[in-house]
Chains A and B, each alone.
Chain A
Amino acid sequence: EAGVTQFPSHSVIEKGQTVTLRCDPISGHDNLYWYRRVMGKEIKFLLHFVKESKQDESGMPNNRFLAERTGGTYSTLKVQPAELEDSGVYFCASSQDGLKKDYTFGSGTRLTVV
């Protein structure tokens, strides 16, 4: 069974550009989560989808970040325009039933804004 897939694995963009990160959850997982870790800091929650609906987006840093999950399958996280402080590793996780079952992380996307 495929795990949680994220791509690209690495992205280097210039300040002011747009970047879109993608996460493909495990098939059948209704719950999808985005996290990020900026350098030297802890991993922080960004938002949670249940199917295509945003259940909790309390961790989204500002309106330059837009997350979507059309059709309740894969999700995208767009940063527009990117700023230097957006550099970090963006993780996606999916689960069948919150934290109780099969909560699985992807390998992350390392974003560098120069």
Chain B
Amino acid sequence: AQSVTQPDIHITVSEGASLELRCNYSYGATPYLFWYVQSPGQGLQLLLKYFSGDTLVQGIKGFEAEFKRSQSSFNLRKPSVHWSDAAEYFCAVGPRHGSGNTGKLIFGQGTTLQVKP
């Protein structure tokens, strides 16, 4: 079955500390991979995505993620967290272009990040 697992429901880090949010997937063939962020009262904003090529991808707001095929993982990282990063983060996967179902995303349950001053 296709699924995305974000093992950490809540994470609290101090401002300025580093951050890593975990994401593992089960999908069959390697899918497209995404991280989204939802701030309170806002919609889903794309942080970064991986289609192919370099397995370390850079996104907005200083975030990066690394695709590890052997571990079926796509963990999100940030070297120094800011108070404004407090939000809910979603990992998602979807089918590669041309593989039939075009655009259906499967999401993890989300990780809520709290930032301590």
Q: Known contacts A105-B43, A107-B43; is A42 also within 8 Å of B95 by CB?
A: no
Q: Which of B43, B44, B97, B103 contacts A48 (CB 8 A)?
A: B103
Q: Which of B51, B103, B108 contacts A33 (CB 8 A)?
A: B103
Q: Which of B43, B51, B101, B105 has the most CB of A within 10 A?
A: B43
Looking at the assembled complex, report how far the CB atom of B39 sits from the nearest CB atom of chain A, in whole angstroms.
Answer: 10
Cα distance A43–B108 in the bound complex, in angstroms: 7
Q: Known contacts A98-B97, A99-B97; is A31 also within 8 Å of B108 by CB?
A: no
CB-CB nearest in chain A for B51: A100
Looking at the assembled complex, report how far the CB atom of A37 sits from the nearest CB atom of chain B, in whole angstroms.
Answer: 8
Residues of B within 8 A of A33 (CB): 103-105
CB-CB nearest in chain A for B44: A105
Number of interface residues of B (CB under 8 A): 25
Q: Which of B42, B103, B107 has the most CB of A within 10 A?
A: B103
Question: Are B110 and A45 in contact (CB-based, < 8 A)?
Answer: no
Question: Are A45 and B97 in contact (CB-based, < 8 A)?
Answer: no
Judge whether B32 is part of the interface by a CB distance below 8 angstroms.
yes
Contact indicator per residue, chain B 56-99, by CB within 8 Å of chain A (1) or not (0): 00000000000000000000000000000000001010110100
Judge whether B115 is part of the interface by a CB distance below 8 angstroms.
no
Residues of B within 8 A of A108 (CB): 43-44
Q: Known contacts A35-B105, A42-B108, A99-B102; is A107 also within 8 Å of B42 by CB?
A: yes
CB-CB nearest in chain B for A40: B109
Q: Which of B32, B45, B92, B105 has the most CB of A within 10 A?
A: B105
Judge whether B19 is part of the interface by a CB distance below 8 angstroms.
no
Question: Are A45 and B106 in contact (CB-based, < 8 A)?
Answer: yes
Question: Are B102 and A106 in contact (CB-based, < 8 A)?
Answer: no
Q: 4 smallest A-B Cβ distances: which pairs?
A: A98-B102, A107-B43, A105-B44, A43-B107
